[in-house]
């Protein structure tokens, strides 16, 4: 009987020791994974900012009297550029490309150029309730130009004449997006 007890105690010790080891192993693995994830995040951030800079340089191009603006929106609720410069009276061709993968109902993007003096927050809040109208407030007179709402992988283009010289604001009118997806449209 005594020997059996000793044996059981020995077994119990083995189990405890091995549990302890497992815990240690798991902790080590977790720390390693976190470290790896952080490293990946950092490098992605760096890549993004690099490509942003590159895109900004190429985002506005002039060809045969037409200004081509290449605007993109991603799954992180970001435009590639938050400032567009054109000249008064120029024909602007704006192409919006959704470079993300999320569908329109989750991460829809558009481009809405607003008249000067528009209360952007007020407009965006009204737009957020205009579900059946592509998130554009019904009967609004505050819009100079706008694209349709698109989802991941889609692209849409519009053409309009640059308004009088001045600084205008553009937003994505999908609910909540204007906080980040907002830029200055500067007409010189």
How many residues in the chain? 188
Our CB check for Cu ion shows the closer of 135 and 168 to be 135
Per-residue contact track with Cu ion, 107 to 136, x per CB under 5 A? --x---------------------------
- Residue in 79, 123, 177, 187 binding Cu ion, rule: CB under 5 A: 177
Minimum CB–partner distance for residue 15 and Cu ion (Å): 55
Our CB check for Cu ion shows the closer of 83 and 104 to be 104
- β-partners of residue 93 are 68, 159
Decide if residue 69 touches Cu ion (CB under 5 A): no
Comparing every residue's Cβ against Cu ion, the nearest one is 172
Our CB check for Cu ion shows the closer of 84 and 181 to be 181
Decide if residue 146 touches Cu ion (CB under 5 A): no
CA distances from 51 to 8, 76, 128 (A): 64, 15, 30
- Do 69 and 59 form a contact (C-beta atoms < 8 A)? yes
- Do 140 and 126 form a contact (C-beta atoms < 8 A)? yes
3-state DSSP assignment of residue 48: helix
Site for Cu ion in 156-175 (CB under 5 A): 172, 174
- β-partners of residue 109 are 150
Question: Contacts with Cu ion: how many residues (CB under 5 A)?
Answer: 5
Our CB check for Cu ion shows the closer of 110 and 118 to be 110
Per-residue contact track with Cu ion, 25 to 44, x per CB under 5 A? --------------------
Our CB check for Cu ion shows the closer of 109 and 146 to be 109
Decide if residue 98 touches Cu ion (CB under 5 A): no
Minimum CB–partner distance for residue 172 and Cu ion (Å): 3
CA-based end-to-end distance of the chain: 97
Provide CB contacts within 8 A for 3, sequence distance 6+.
none
Residue 188 has which token pair?
């010189």
113: closest CA among 180, 61, 186, 188?
Answer: 186
Which residues of the chain form contacts with Cu ion (CB under 5 A)?
109, 172, 174, 177, 181
């Amino acid at each position: 009987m005594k020997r059996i007890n000793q044996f059981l105690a020995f077994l119990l010790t083995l189990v405890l020791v091995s549990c302890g080891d497992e815990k240690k192993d798991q902790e080590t693995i977790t720390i390693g994974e976190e470290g790896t994830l952080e490293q990946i995040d950092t490098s992605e951030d760096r890549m993004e900012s690099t490509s942003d800079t590159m895109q900004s340089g190429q985002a506005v191009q002039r060809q045969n009297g037409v200004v081509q603006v290449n605007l993109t929106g991603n799954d992180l609720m970001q435009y590639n550029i938050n400032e567009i410069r054109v000249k008064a009276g120029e024909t602007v061709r704006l192409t919006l490309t959704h470079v993300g993968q999320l569908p329109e109902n989750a991460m829809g993007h558009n481009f809405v150029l607003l008249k000067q003096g528009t209360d952007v927050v007020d407009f965006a809040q009204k737009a957020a309730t205009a579900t059946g109208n592509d998130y554009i407030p019904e009967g609004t007179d505050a819009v100079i130009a706008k694209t349709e709402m698109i989802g991941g992988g889609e692209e849409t283009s519009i053409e309009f004449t640059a308004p009088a010289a001045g600084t205008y604001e553009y937003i994505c009118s999908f609910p909540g997006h204007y906080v980040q997806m907002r830029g200055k449209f500067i007409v010189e």
